[in-house]
Amino acid sequence: MSDCYTAALRILSYRFNGEAELRRKLASKRFERAEVDATIERLRKEKWIDDDRFAASFVRARLQKHIGRMRIRRELIAMGVDDAVAARAIAENADEEREREDLAEACAKRIRLMKRRHGDDVLESPHERKKLAAYLLKQGYDAALIQSVVKELSVVDD
């Protein structure tokens, strides 16, 4: 068993990794490119690495933390997962109704924080509503969905 293969299994024992992520980690340990390629091929044959499974697992884990689809997709692509694989994993694992509930929950949590910092009338200002929307956009939620939820808030507050 080669040192590269052993290092890869050690890395995978901590957390499931995508292929590109594992390649980067092995390269940082100064293994030769040919040895890394052979190790990756062996791991793929042995079903230790599979970007489809990795992406699906990653999507489910991030959704549990109330992160929006857009941010999850950006994170997967940054990890080296193919755009089509990321889109498919999100489509198969994300539910629009649940995303709306998660957005409402994240929105309520952020509003509580804003009220604690700036007072109860914080959402009366259009500037503060924009700040709320910007925060939710950064969390990866869809702009149209954010707009409808924030609009519902302003109707409830009035």
* pLDDT of amino acid 122: 78
Predicted TM-score of the model (pTM): 0.80
Spell out the domain ranges in the chain: 1-49, 50-94, 96-157
Please, what's the b/e burial string for 15-33 (b: 16 or more CB within 10 A of its CB; e: otherwise)? ebbbbbbbbebbeeeebee
Q: Is 75 exposed, middle or buried (0-12, 13-18, 19+ CB in 10 A)?
A: middle
* pLDDT of amino acid 35: 94
Token pair recorded at residue 135: 């925060």
* CATH top class, domain 1-49: mainly alpha
Checking if the pLDDT of 11 tops 70, the result is yes
Nearby residues of 103 by Cβ (< 8 Å), 6 or more positions away: 68, 136, 141, 145, 146, 149
* pLDDT of amino acid 158: 46
The domain 50-94 is classified under which CATH number: 2.60.40, 3.40.50, 1.10.10, 1.10.287? Answer: 1.10.10
Checking if the pLDDT of 152 tops 80, the result is no
Rounded Cα distance, 86 and 56, in Å: 8
Mean local confidence (pLDDT), 23-52? 93
Rounded Cα distance, 110 and 91, in Å: 27
